[in-house]
Amino acid sequence: MVSIYDFTAQSLSGDEVPLRRFEGQVLLIVNTASACGFTPQYRGLEALQREYGPRGFSVLGFPCNQFGHQEPGSAKDIAEFCSREYDVSFPMFAKIDVNGGSAHPLYAHLKREKTGLLGSSIKWNFTKFLIDRAGRVVGRFAPTDRPEGLKKQIEALL
């Protein structure tokens, strides 16, 4: 059975990161953007990271420019924005596609495991996938679902 630990992704700094590095943690995987109406959710995502990180939780951010071209910057631009505006401490990865033929394999897997209200495609930035400690996708949340509203589900997995 395939789990998210079978995938790798490139970090913002260009290093290949095996997701097995996060094995045993509860994860919240999010496609992000710096110029979106939902961008202030970085604040809530960082609050979750700081509150639950010591208990084996991590947010993983995947910038994506497929929705309204709201993530046009370079990896350096994204890293600087996240640090300057939201003091992001959770891992951020290189910009990826989440839909279509060039979708990152991780996102193809996530969408197969948990479809959304309108099908498997990601509809917008800040769609969230909750992963249990065994690497299984156990929840999918819409961009309108605020990070603070996921505490009960995260705590149940910790």
Q: What is the CATH number of the domain that holds 129?
A: 3.40.30.10
* Total domain count, the chain: 1
Residue 26 main-chain phi, psi, to 5 deg: -85, 135
> One of 36, 96, 130, 157 is an active-site residue; which one?
36
User: Nearest-CA neighbor of 90 among 29, 134, 138?
Assistant: 29
- pLDDT score at 99: 95
Instruction: State pTM to two decimals.
Output: 0.96
The answer to whether residue 82 is catalytic is no
Domain of 117 in residue numbering reads as 4-157
CA 18 distance to own-chain centroid: 15
- pLDDT score at 119: 75
Give tens-digit pLDDT for 5-50: 999 999 999 999 999 999 999 999 999 999 999 999 999 999 999 9
Give tens-digit pLDDT for 90-149: 999 999 999 999 999 999 999 999 887 667 889 999 999 999 999 999 999 999 999 999
Mean pLDDT along residues 66-83: 94
Q: With 90 as the cut, is the pLDDT of residue 65 above it? A: yes
